Structure 1
Amino acid sequence: MIRVSNLIFRYTSLPEPSLRISDLSIPEGECLVLCGKSGSGKTSFTRLLNGLIPEYFEGEYSGDINVFGLVPGRDSIETFSKLTSTVFQNPASQFFYRKTEQELAFSCENQGLPPQSICERLNETAAFFQLQSLMDQDLLSASGGEQQRIALASSQMQSPKLLILDEPTANLDAEGVKMVRNYLSKLKAQGVTIVIAEHRLDYLENLGDRYLYFEKGEIAHCWSQEEWLDLTNEDRKKFGLRGLHLELKQFYEEDSCLLGLSTKRLQLRNNKVNLGQISDLHFPKNCITALVGPNGIGKSTLAKILSGIETSDGDINFGKKTLSPLERLKQSAYVMQNVRLQLFSDSVRKEILLGNSKTADFKQVVEQLGLSQLLDRHPISLSGGEQQRVIIANALLSNKKIIIFDEPTSGLDYEQMLSFSKLLQELKSPERVIIVITHDLELINEACQQIRFIRKVP
Structure 2
Amino acid sequence: MIQFENVSFAYAGQTSGNLRELNLTIENGECVLFCGRSGCGKTTVTRLVNGLIPYFFAGKLSGRVVVNGLDIARTPMYQIAGKVGSVFQNPRTQFFNVDTDSEIAFGIENEALPTEELHRRVKGTAEDLRISQLLGRNIFELSGGEKQKIAFASVYAMNPQVYLLDEPSSNLDMKAIRELKDHLQLIKSQGKTVLIAEHRLHYLMDLADRIVYLEEGRVAGIYTPSQLAALPDDARSLMGLRAVDLNRVHPVEKRTLTGSPVLTLQNVDLRYKKHTILENISLQAAGGEIIGVAGHNGAGKTTFSRALCGLHKDCGGSFFWKGKETQPKARRKSAYMVMQDVNYQLFAESVAKECAFGIKNPDHSLIERTLTELGLQGLKERHPNTLSGGQKQRVAVAVSMVCGKEVLVFDEPTSGLDYDSMAQVAELLKKLAQQGKIIFVVTHDVELIGQACSRVLHFDAKGVPQDLAVTRDNEAGLRALFGMAQPQIANKH
Q: Same-fold call, TM > 0.5?
A: yes
The alpha carbon displacement at 1:324 in A equals: 1.1
Query: Does the Cα contact within 8 Å between 1:278 and 1:455 map onto a contact in 2?
Result: no
- SS of 2:169 mapped into structure 1: coil
Q: Aligned partners of 1:139 and 1:355: how far apart in 2?
A: 31
Give the partner amino acid of 2:323: K
Q: Aligned partners of 1:255 and 1:227: how far apart in 2?
A: 42
Q: Aligned partners of 1:232 and 1:431: how far apart in 2?
A: 36
- SS of 1:281 mapped into structure 2: strand
Q: How many residues align?
A: 458
Give the partner amino acid of 1:165: L
Give percent identity, aligned residues only. Answer: 37
Which moves more between the two structures, 382-391 or 218-227?
A: 218-227
| Match status 1:332 vs 2:335 | yes
| Match status 1:168 vs 2:168 | yes
Give the partner amino acid of 2:399: N
2:268 aligns to what? 266
Unaligned 5+ runs, structure 2: 464-493
Q: 1:37 to 1:225 in 2, by over 3 A?
A: same
What do the CA deviations read for 1:259-304 (whole angstroms, capped 9, x no partner)? Answer: 1333333333346654352533333321100000000111111111
1:57 aligns to what? 57
The alpha carbon displacement at 1:177 in A equals: 0.4
The alpha carbon displacement at 1:58 in A equals: 0.9
1:352 aligns to what? 355
2:481 aligns to what? none
Give the partner amino acid of 1:397: V
- SS of 1:280 mapped into structure 2: strand
TM-score normalised to structure 1 length: 0.95
| Match status 1:371 vs 2:376 | yes
Q: Aligned partners of 2:102 and 2:269: how far apart in 1?
A: 30
The alpha carbon displacement at 1:73 in A equals: 3.2
Q: 1:155 to 1:283 in 2, by over 3 A?
A: farther
- SS of 1:360 mapped into structure 2: helix
Which moves more between the two structures, 269-278 or 343-352?
A: 269-278
Q: Pick from 297, 322, 330: which aligns with 2:325?
A: 322
Q: Aligned partners of 2:265 and 2:302: how far apart in 1?
A: 15
The alpha carbon displacement at 1:106 in A equals: 1.1
Unaligned 5+ runs, structure 1: none
2:488 aligns to what? none
TM-score normalised to structure 2 length: 0.88
2:240 aligns to what? 240
Q: Aligned partners of 2:137 and 2:5: how far apart in 1?
A: 44
Give the partner amino acid of 1:265: N
Q: 1:3 to 1:307 in 2, by over 3 A?
A: same
Q: Aligned partners of 1:78 and 1:281: how far apart in 2?
A: 54
2:3 aligns to what? 3
Query: Does the Cα contact within 8 Å between 1:285 and 1:432 map onto a contact in 2?
Result: yes
1:397 aligns to what? 402
2:444 aligns to what? 439
2:392 aligns to what? 387
The alpha carbon displacement at 1:153 in A equals: 1.9
Q: How does 1:85-234 map to 2 (within 5 A)?
A: 85-234=85-234
1:282 aligns to what? 284
Q: 1:261 to 1:156 in 2, by over 3 A?
A: farther
Give the partner amino acid of 1:292: A
The alpha carbon displacement at 1:375 in A equals: 0.7
Q: 1:226 to 1:432 in 2, by over 3 A?
A: closer
1:81 aligns to what? 81
Q: Aligned partners of 1:438 and 1:101: how far apart in 2?
A: 29
